């Protein structure tokens, strides 16, 4: 069975794309056939995997509007078990293109159906807003993973996201669950980071990952070289943290009932 996880937070700058890239790479290195879907018109997950967007003939946009088959859009990566479904700026036009179509919320889910059996994990990187693209990602996913930056007001934004989650479950995808909350940009030396971690665990017991993604220079450098951190600096704290996160997810999916949780 394919596990489809969307990485989402309506707030920007929380480590969403970094998490999508590096979780996908870590799962792939663990010999899980993995697909990274870039569902953000900025295409940062695409460039972060070393893809030259200017050379692409077709992207996720063409698949979602029905002009291309998903299997024809997949790109290979230096990791044999990892493929990328790229995005570029034309994805902005998806909302206009699909405005009057009844199936507009299900375009991504429909497109992925044909290739799902080829993968163990599909990781979807969402835009930092509640757009039609985010709705499509949540409709297609089994679970959402929420990166939470360890800074002031972090939990305030999380409440809005959980309201969105409840609406999606009620109206579009009743099977959507929360894979977990991931603390990012964590600096154990600061009181604020420790406070955010404590509050997250207090408000959302059992769904905050034990793994915390640290502030790490090498992790920030890797995208500019078009590499996941495992290929850029496998010994860095950032690489070790994402390997640990992948381990938590794999452990959760190998046990019953698993870690995925629903908040009503």
Task: Taking each helix axis as running N to C, give the angle between helix 16-29 and helix 237-253, from 0 to 180 degrees, rounded to the nearest 10.
Answer: 70
Q: How confident is the model at residue 257 (pLDDT cuts 50, 70, 90)?
A: very low
pLDDT (tens digit per residue) in 7-28: 999 877 788 999 999 999 999 9
Domain ranges in the chain?
3-253
Residue 13, pLDDT score: 78
Collect contacts of 191-196 with beta carbons under 8 A, ≥24 apart: 192/150, 192/151, 192/152, 193/150, 193/151, 196/148, 196/150, 196/151, 196/154, 196/155
What does the pLDDT average to over 31-43? 97
Q: What pLDDT does 255 receive?
A: 45
pLDDT single digits (tens) 188-227: 888 888 888 888 888 888 899 999 999 989 999 999 999 9
Hey, which CATH number is domain 3-253, 3.40.50.720, 3.30.750.80, 3.10.20.30, 3.40.50.300?
Answer: 3.40.50.300
Separation between Cα atoms, residue 46 and residue 98, nearest integer Å: 23
Q: Within 13 Å, how many C-alpha atoms sit on residue 94's CB side?
A: 30
Euclidean distance between the first and the last CA atom of the chain, given in angstroms as a whole number:
25
pTM score, whole prediction? 0.93
* Average pLDDT of the residues in 115-120: 97
Query: pLDDT value at position 199?
Result: 87
Tell me if 24 sits within 8 A of 36, measured CB to CB. Answer: yes
């Amino acid at each position: 069975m394919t596990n489809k996880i969307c990485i989402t937070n309506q707030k920007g700058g929380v480590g969403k794309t970094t998490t999508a890239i590096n979780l996908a790479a870590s799962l792939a290195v663990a010999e899980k056939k993995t697909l990274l879907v870039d569902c953000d018109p900025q295409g940062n997950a695409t460039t972060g995997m070393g893809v030259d967007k200017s050379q692409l003939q077709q992207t996720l946009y063409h698949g979602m509007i029905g002009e291309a088959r998903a299997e024809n859009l997949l790109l290979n990566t230096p990791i044999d078990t990892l493929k990328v479904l790229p995005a570029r700026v034309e994805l902005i036009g998806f909302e206009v293109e699909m405005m009057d179509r009844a199936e507009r919320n299900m375009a991504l889910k429909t497109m992925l159906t044909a290739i799902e059996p080829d993968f163990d994990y599909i990781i979807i990187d969402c835009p930092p807003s509640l757009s039609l693209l985010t709705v499509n990602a949540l409709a297609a996913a089994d679970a959402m993973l929420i990166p939470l930056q360890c800074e002031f007001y972090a939990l305030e934004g999380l409440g809005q996201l959980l309201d969105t989650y409840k609406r999606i479950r009620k109206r579009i995808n009743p099977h959507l669950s929360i894979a977990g909350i991931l603390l990012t940009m964590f600096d154990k030396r600061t009181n604020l980071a420790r406070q955010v971690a404590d509050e997250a665990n207090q408000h959302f017991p059992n769904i905050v990952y034990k793994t915390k993604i640290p502030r790490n220079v090498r992790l920030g450098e890797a995208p500019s070289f078009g590499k996941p951190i495992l290929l850029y600096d496998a010994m860095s704290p950032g690489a070790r943290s994402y390997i640990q996160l992948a381990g938590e997810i794999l452990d959760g999916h190998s046990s019953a009932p698993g870690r995925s949780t629903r908040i009503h």
